[in-house]
Amino acid sequence: MKILKPKFWDEEKLNFYALILLPVSFVLQILIIIKNFFIKVKIAQIPVVCVGNIYLGGTGKTPTSIQLSLILKKLGKKSVIIKKNFTNQADEKMLIMKKLNNIISIKNRFMGTEQAVKKGFDLVILDDGLQDKTLFKNLNIVCFNEKQLSGNGLTLPSGPLREPLKSLKKYQIVIINSKKDKRLNKFEKIIKKISREISIYYSTYIPDPIKIKKFKNKKVLAFAGIGNPKNFFDLLYEQKVNVIKKISYPDHYNFSKREIEQLIILAKNEGLKIITTEKDFYRIKKFKLKQIDYLPISLKIHSEDLFIKEVKKYL
């Protein structure tokens, strides 16, 4: 059974639960180091760009991967996104297919690169896979979201990090989903202290203006089953959408038809329109319930010319 992430993961002060879980986090990290020591790294025939995260979920990996593929297309590069075949991530695969009509979903990422070569692609983009050390990556892009950044700074299960923040020294580019402002100077300094060579860029979500206009003067029930549902609700608030009710579910939540029908009844009784994320919509699309609408978003990378110039260095 999936559960929502613990609130103490994003608290700046060390929580009691985080402290008592520290020994478990320490043991897990030691086991990962031992495992990685014995891994034999494979090198693909074409360049590999990995778009991943060290914060568990909700950092914008998939929108960034999609935008990167569109950027590379402008450069005349024929790229394909490889996504490991996890059954609970069908929503992300459908999203990529809709935006690009181009994805390889496979259990083994290296085998995915071989498939990409056979299909005539110039390079591959790994949507996730930063922690998969079996495949050499020409470029690693690490995504963060301004709302969570690195959380309490601890690794699982004491905190939300898949690997310690100091692991950034192994990577080349950081993209923070936020408008650059003074609030993030502290985080930038932490990153630069870990690695002077790493480049930092910013990105923002661009909501579909037609859908925003549709919900502008309506009372809304919003629900989300993504890594950080709060980020979706905040995006709606920023767009002046009148969210009366907000309901959070765990990441990649497998909705039942009954659950969605209950949401529809709740919204109807209170005179609310329903909106969800594009990823959540793909998970419930099979129910063919017309009362559910969704908000498509795209992602803009700031200083895109500089970003493109740097990406080209690794390709």
Preceding peptide of 157 cis, ω within 30°: yes
pLDDT tens digits along 111-159: 999 999 999 999 999 999 999 999 999 999 999 999 999 999 999 999 9
Distances (CA, A) of 112 to 20, 44, 117, 307: 40, 10, 9, 26
Q: Mean pLDDT in each 10-residue stretch from start to end of the chain (315 residues)?
A: 83 92 97 96 98 95 96 94 87 91 95 98 96 98 96 97 98 95 91 97 97 93 95 96 96 95 97 97 94 96 96 93
Q: What's 87's DSSP letter?
A: G
Hey, how many other C-beta atoms are within 10 angstroms of the C-beta on 3? Answer: 6
Q: What is the pTM of this model?
A: 0.95
pLDDT tens digits along 260-299: 999 999 999 999 999 999 999 999 999 999 999 999 999 9
CA–CA distance, 146 with 176 (Å, rounded to integer): 6
**What pLDDT is stored for residue 13 in this prediction?**
86
Hey, how many other C-beta atoms are within 10 angstroms of the C-beta on 210? Answer: 8
CA–CA distance, 3 with 21 (Å, rounded to integer): 17
- DSSP percent split of the chain into helix, strand, coil, nearest 5: 40, 25, 35
**What pLDDT is stored for residue 213 in this prediction?**
95
CA–CA distance, 65 with 72 (Å, rounded to integer): 11
**What pLDDT is stored for residue 2 in this prediction?**
67
What are the structural domains of the chain?
40-206+300-314 (3.40.50.300), 209-295 (3.40.50)
**What pLDDT is stored for residue 179 in this prediction?**
86
**What pLDDT is stored for residue 12 in this prediction?**
84
**What pLDDT is stored for residue 244 in this prediction?**
97
